[in-house]
Structure 1
Amino acid sequence: MTRGRKAELRPIDGGLASVPRAPSWLSKEAAQEWGRIMPGLIERRVLTDADMGTVEQFCVASGLVKRSQAIISAEGDMVDGRRHPAFQTLFQALTESRRLAAELGLTPASRNKAAAMKGGGNDDLADLDL
């Protein structure tokens, strides 16, 4: 299966101009992530109301990463001679948060890729999902 090029994040006409309040149902950790990422996303004007579900999902996944790590730190890596069950949640949340971070342009690679595409240069590596 080949990977396509992710959409370039550009300022959107009608993009959100102010940071919306975090949904009340987010965990404390997810709400903290919301507060951390939203100002930059709003400043870049890359979000519309339709994108808020993706932002919420990213924050939930990031919150789960933090909660899982805290549980493992408090209870130890092993439970009854086996790896702590929270590791599965941790790994799944890490995978999902990385995927959603790239979709939202929250990683250095995704931001640099968008910047390279804006420059219009003929970069043979731009088609690779690196």
Structure 2
Amino acid sequence: MAPKPKPATPPLSCPDWLDDHARAHWPTLVDSLKRRGLLQDADPSSLIRFCQALAQYRRATERLNKDGQVITEIHPQYEVEKVHPAFRVQAELVKQISMLLKELGLLDAVHDSSDPAGSSHAASETTDSSLDGLAAWLARARRGCDN
């Protein structure tokens, strides 16, 4: 007996309550999942969390670009230099994005097709329109952190 074909996946619409930055990632993510045949198994809440995490990462990065990684707290009798809170937020978001890429099946697809030499083109690969580039950059970053 032939296996039953899976029913067609209804189109996923982006929730209207997501902010503009998160909404901008939705079509790229859905298209990437569709190309890899992963869309029908994707948990919609994972897609939402992924888009939100990318938007939050962008905001944290913009804040760091504006303020720098170190801030100075001024107290009445002294000053203290501290790591900017957005730096920690950004680091946590890298972990969350990496976990969500794996959960969605996108990180494994990148590992299977990534350059074994691990060439670094992070600047060109992490544009908003390049989900595959983001996944490749995160995969290399994670390998670098795990060594």
Query: Given residue 70 of structure 2, which amino acid in structure 1 is its aligned partner?
Result: M
TM-score, length-scaled by structure 2: 0.58
Indicate the residue corresponding to 2:135 in structure 1: none
- Structure 1: gaps spanning 5 or more residues: 1-11, 116-129
Query: Given residue 100 of structure 2, which amino acid in structure 1 is its aligned partner?
Result: L
Query: Given residue 54 of structure 1, which amino acid in structure 2 is its aligned partner?
Result: S
**Secondary structure at the counterpart of residue 89 of structure 2:** helix
CA distance in 2, matches of 1:103, 1:49: 10
Q: Is residue 16–residue 45 contact of structure 1 (8 Å, CA) maintained in 2?
A: no
Q: Is residue 16–residue 42 contact of structure 1 (8 Å, CA) maintained in 2?
A: no
Q: Does 1:71 find its partner at 2:66?
A: no
Residue of structure 2 aligned with 1:21, choices 13, 27, 40: 13
- Structure 2: gaps spanning 5 or more residues: 73-80, 114-142
Count of residue pairs the alignment pairs up:
102
Query: Given residue 109 of structure 2, which amino acid in structure 1 is its aligned partner?
Result: R
Q: Is residue 14–residue 26 contact of structure 2 (8 Å, CA) maintained in 1?
A: yes
Q: Deviations over 1:65-122 (max 9, x none)?
A: 1110011111222211211111121111110110110121223xx016779xxxxxxx
Considering only aligned residues, what root-mean-square deviation do their CA atoms show, in Å? Answer: 2.6
Q: Is residue 71–residue 86 contact of structure 1 (8 Å, CA) maintained in 2?
A: yes
Structure 2 CA distance for partners of 1:35 and 1:112, relative to 1, 3 Å:
closer
CA distance in 2, matches of 1:50, 1:38: 9
Indicate the residue corresponding to 2:139 in structure 1: none
Matches within 5 A, 1:23-42: 23-42=15-34
Query: Given residue 111 of structure 1, which amino acid in structure 2 is its aligned partner?
Result: A
Bigger Rg, which one: 2
Q: Percent identity?
A: 25
TM-score, length-scaled by structure 1: 0.65
**Secondary structure at the counterpart of residue 43 of structure 2:** helix
Which protein has greater RCO, CA pairs closer than 8 Å, 6+ apart? 1
Shift of 1:34: 1.3
